[in-house]
Amino acid sequence: MLEKSTHLEDVLKSHRMTHIEGLVSKHKSKRDEIKELLEGNYTSDIYSPFNSGSFGKHTAINIKFDLDLVIPFKRNSFDTIENMFNDVYDFLYKEYHESGIATVRKQKVSIGVLFKADEDGDAINIDVVPGRELTKDTYLEDRDLNIYFNENTWGFTKGTYTKTNIQAQIDHIKARDNERKVIRLLKIWKNTNGEKYKSFLLELLTIKAFDKATISGNDWEKLKGVMTYIKDNITKDDFTLKDPGNSNNDVVKSLDTWTRQLLSNKMGIMIQQIESNAENIKSYFPINEEFEEKEENSSSSSYGLKGSSVGPSIPSNNQRFG
Amino acid sequence: MDFELINSTIAAIPFVKKINSIERREFSIVGNVEILLEELGTPLTFDFQINSEYPLKSYDSESINFSNKELVSYNHVMQNGSICIHTSHSTSITEKLRIDFNALKDWIIKYVVNKDEDLNYEHIVVTESPINDTYYSFMFTECKESFYKDELGTVKLSLFNDGILRGKKNFNFFIQKFVPINGEPKNCQWNQYYNKQRAHLEGLYYYIEDAPVTNGRFAYTNWSELNLPQNLLNLLHQHEREKREKLKGRVIPLFIGYKTVGTEIHWQAALLEIGKFPIKGVPEKFNGHKTGKWNTHLVDTEIKWGLTRNSSYQYFFGRGVFSKVLTEKKILIIGVGAVGSIIAQTLTRGGCKYIDFIDHDIKEPENVCRSEYKFANGITSKTVELEKNLYEISPFLNSIKLNDNYFETLIKTFYSDTKRQKKFIDDLKPYDLIFDCSTDNDLMYVLNSLKLETDLINISITNHAKELICAFHPNIYNFVNNQFSNVLKNDVEDLYEPTGCWNPTFKASYNDINVLVQLALKHINKIISGEKAKNNFVIHEADNSLKIVEF
């Protein structure tokens, strides 16, 4: 019988970033290039840019990861947050888009720079998040920034801005290895199933579950504990998820009642299906076959050919009909 | 029938003031009663006829009939004065008589006393007649363009199959377009299949705007009632003169158009026989002298009405469709074997308007027993036959033939080429929804690996149709393979092996497969309309019932 925890361990192993070091270093080099360009352009108007996104938080998985670059602007650099956002966009557009090196576009709170595919077919994508300190000379102490909303998103209106503290968000997950494992698994599920839930939401839910419930045992038991917590709590009226970057921002408010119910149901269904047949765990948390560490004589990923030599005229058990 | 029982039961009904007459006939009991209600100042009299089937219904009608010709202007009264009532079932003569007389009483209160108007539009009552022992039927649908009062023109008609109606031959036509005397044609909004059919007959039309009725709902019975304008009479004369030589005796329709609800138009077809149009030439006179010119005058005869049916989308699918979100989607079905052809046909009957399909396979006689193909079409390409079958079902389905090689060769050859991947994604972008029913694991892998911007649903079944597996992009390849390989017990030994070349297939009947597919489509319809979450699911039989298990 499939050992769920062992499977999850293999899943995590196969999704490690180390498998794609070449691609990661390409990303890092492009990120550094953008960083240097921005530093050269904005000189004393900015503090030192830093990395965020899943890479910054060590929750990246090799099938989907972001390399975000936060640019903290000083209070007096721009009159408005919108002007700051547009200026960074215009600068990157001129540098990359007009020269045909990359596509530059305004996104929800960031400016996306999508480089043209290289000879390996890799298209590097870096998101630049501009933020402005709240009051003059306070950033280095409190790390608070105002970020701009270019679209109606997460309950905010286009054209407005909000306070956030990206450093606090990164710190929130620091040294939490168990939580990170579960977050990575939930991100694998999100990616496998094409779920629209934000990774940040799954992150906060996982951390809260560990803080509020007793989450222990092996990897499956921990994952199940978090999923159970989400199932039982996300639909409660008084349930909140404070953004560590802004205590006034309740992240759960960005979900309507139906979406919260849906997430609760999905968690319930997953637990039920995996408990009723351990093999179902593969439907939600598959091994990234590209980087599967295969043991000799193992054929776990060869669907339908398990444990038997197959003759030319006998269909395998994954023969579908219709 | 128990005459005495009927007589005494009617006499005992409190609001039957008097039985004026009652007599037994060979197959019925007839009579006349006076009904007096508190709400009525004076009693109303009704003839009644109780037929031998009483108290049972016959041909969907009550076997008792009440009539009063003087009440013909009230709602639900037929031209002969019969009151149209439908009452509860009872096998007891006494109970049924009480029910039916009470229904008459309710009708009197609602329509005679309170003069209620019905909310639903009721079509005018037309006596449809054969001409030369043959019926003529005409289907029409909406045109984009409007019609103007007193507009005249010709109508292009196509013939589909002959039918039998009330024991007589019935020619079935559909209207392709209306061509105004001075103006651009107004096409009926059928699909391209019907629009490109050859026109077999030319009729005429006259948009009168108000319904051609007496007493609010009885179609005129004589030509003079229509009050046809001189230019229409001239058009009739010209038309008959042009056609008389070659088409004498041919029946053509004159469509009379009028408004019903809102901007909706209905057409009635008055039948005309070439050579016997209800017109005559009358010499023009001036000061008592003939001028040498002739005028066309009407000859007042009885109108023979043909059958017309508004078959526009809202009526054609009025009794039940999938959600509008689904019916408006541009759909592609890959693989039209048993599952795919059942899906295609169900979506068509469910009102979907855009379904393309692709399959390189040939339909053989042995496919017929469990898919939507017919023996009568012989050996032919599955897509060609399916298209024909679906067009025969719905005049609102639009379908485009696709290149057979696309999924078998092109996409499989270049699937790992990132530049081509973008092209494939763009190729599939025009579709809102793709059903992959190909059961091709390689294609499933290729499609799953594309970052599609369209919804992709993969459907397949296990042997003996024990389970149906439905998965949504992007979790298709992993989920489906895991179900087949590790979770479900797919029996691949007990297969049907036809004689000849080794090519085993699964065992399952049309009923086995169809019941799963119908349930799956019902669930998918709910997912698409937002009523259910988009979770992968498996349908399987448990405790003699089908169960949808979501993942």
ipTM of the complex: 0.81
Domains contained in chain B, number: 3
B331 CA to chain A: closest CA distance, Å? 18
Nearest to B502 among A304, A313, A317 (CB): A313
What does the pLDDT average to over B155-165?
95
Residues B94 and B28 in one domain: yes
- What would the two tokens of residue A177 be? 């290895």
Residue B495 counted as domain residue: yes
CATH 1.20.1530 fits A177-282, yes or no: no
The enclosing domain of B538 has a CATH number of 3.40.50.720
Q: Token pair 């992968």 is at which residue? A: B536
Residue B172 counted as domain residue: yes
Which residues of B are less than 8 Å from A279 in CB distance?
Answer: 482, 486-487
Nearest to A194 among B475, B482, B504 (CB): B475
Q: Is the pLDDT of residue B405 over 90?
A: no
Give the residue from B265, B293, B315 where a domain finishes. B315
Q: What is the pLDDT of residues B173-227, one digit of tens each?
A: 999 999 999 899 999 999 999 999 999 999 999 999 999 999 888 999 999 999 9
**Searching chain B, which residue's CA lies closest to the CA of residue A193?**
B475
Q: What is the pLDDT of residues B263-278, one digit of tens each?
A: 999 999 999 999 999 9
Residues B283 and B335 in one domain: no
Residue B458 counted as domain residue: yes
Q: What is the pLDDT of residues A212-266, one digit of tens each?
A: 999 999 999 999 999 999 999 999 999 999 999 999 999 999 899 999 999 999 9
List, by residue range, all CATH 1.10.1410 domains of chain A.
177-282
Q: Do A322 and B340 touch (CB under 8 A)?
A: yes
Residues B412 and B454 in one domain: yes
Q: Which residues pair with B267 in a beta bridge?
A: B257
How far apart (Å, rounded) are the C-alpha atoms in residues A167 and A81? 19
DSSP string, A111-125: EEEEEPP-TTS---E
Give the residue from B315, B333, B362 where a domain finishes. B315
Q: Give the model's confidence band at B354: pLDDT under 50 very low, under 70 low, under 90 confident, else very high.
A: very high
| Cβ–Cβ < 8 Å for B488, B536 | no
Residue B122 counted as domain residue: no
- The pLDDT score that the predictor gives to residue A305 is 43
DSSP B370: G
Give the residue from B258, B287, B315 where a domain finishes. B315
Residues B304 and B335 in one domain: no
Q: What is the pLDDT of residues A274-320, one digit of tens each?
A: 999 999 999 999 999 999 876 655 544 445 444 444 455 566 778 88
Residue B127 counted as domain residue: no
Residue A12 phi/psi, 5-degree rounding, is -65, -40
Q: Is the pLDDT of residue B321 over 70?
A: yes
- The pLDDT score that the predictor gives to residue B503 is 75
A286 CA to chain B: closest CA distance, Å? 7
Residue A271, SS3 per DSSP: helix
What does the pLDDT average to over A87-105?
96
Element (H, E) at A28: helix A21-42
Q: What is the CATH number of domain A17-172?
A: 3.30.460.90
A131 CA to chain B: closest CA distance, Å? 32
Mean pLDDT of chain A: 91
Element (H, E) at A187: helix A177-193
Residues B298 and B350 in one domain: no
pTM: 0.87
How far apart (Å, rounded) are the C-alpha atoms in residues B412 and B443? 7
Nearest to B492 among A306, A317, A322 (CB): A317
| Cβ–Cβ < 8 Å for B338, B370 | yes
Q: Which of B64, B52, B128 is nearest to B96 (CA)?
A: B64
What does the pLDDT average to over B473-484?
96
Q: Do A282 and B418 touch (CB under 8 A)?
A: no
- What would the two tokens of residue A284 be? 């939600």
Are β-strands A102-106 and A111-115 bridged in parallel, bridged antiparallel, or unpaired?
antiparallel
Query: Max CA-CA distance within chain A?
Result: 77
- Structural domain span for residue B142: 134-315
List, by residue range, all CATH 3.30.460.90 domains of chain A.
17-172
B338 CA to chain A: closest CA distance, Å? 6
Q: Token pair 């407005």 is at which residue? A: A160
Q: What is the pLDDT of residues B4-27, one digit of tens each?
A: 999 999 999 999 999 999 999 999
| Cβ–Cβ < 8 Å for B126, B219 | yes
Residue B25 phi/psi, 5-degree rounding, is -115, 180
Q: Give the model's confidence band at A120: pLDDT under 50 very low, under 70 low, under 90 confident, else very high.
A: confident
Residue B295 counted as domain residue: yes
Q: Do B484 and A317 touch (CB under 8 A)?
A: yes
Buried b / exposed e over B464-494, threshold 16 CB at 10 Å, is bbbbbbbbbbbbbbbbbbbbbbbbbebebee
Q: Give the model's confidence band at B490: pLDDT under 50 very low, under 70 low, under 90 confident, else very high.
A: confident
Residues B475 and B335 in one domain: yes
Which residues of B are less than 8 Å from A194 in CB distance?
Answer: 472-475
Residues B278 and B352 in one domain: no
Dihedral of CA atoms A287, A290, A293, A298 in degrees, nearest 10, equals 80
**Searching chain B, which residue's CA lies closest to the CA of residue A116?**
B419
**Searching chain B, which residue's CA lies closest to the CA of residue A188?**
B475
Q: Is the pLDDT of residue B541 over 50?
A: yes
- What would the two tokens of residue B173 be? 């036509």
Q: Which of B407, B365, B406 is nearest to B385 (CA)?
A: B365
Residues B231 and B252 in one domain: yes
Q: Token pair 């637990």 is at which residue? A: A271
Nearest to A266 among B474, B482, B535 (CB): B535
Q: Which of A266, A315, A96 is nearest to B462 (CA)?
A: A315
Mean pLDDT of chain B: 94
Q: Give the model's confidence band at B418: pLDDT under 50 very low, under 70 low, under 90 confident, else very high.
A: confident
The enclosing domain of B17 has a CATH number of 3.10.110
Q: Is the pLDDT of residue B453 over 80?
A: yes
Mutate to test the interface with A, among B473, B475, B497, B529 (most CBs of A within 10 A): B475
Residues B519 and B441 in one domain: yes
How far apart (Å, rounded) are the C-alpha atoms in residues B232 and B236? 6
Q: Which residues pair with B540 in a beta bridge?
A: B467, B547
Residues B427 and B338 in one domain: yes
Q: What is the pLDDT of residues A136-149, one digit of tens each?
A: 999 999 999 999 99
Residue B129 counted as domain residue: no
Residues B213 and B156 in one domain: yes
Residues B284 and B340 in one domain: no
Q: Give the model's confidence band at B401: pLDDT under 50 very low, under 70 low, under 90 confident, else very high.
A: confident
Percent pLDDT > 90 in chain B is 85
Q: What is the pLDDT of residues B89-146, one digit of tens each?
A: 999 999 999 999 999 999 999 999 999 988 888 889 999 999 999 999 999 999 999 9
Nearest to B551 among A2, A273, A315 (CB): A273
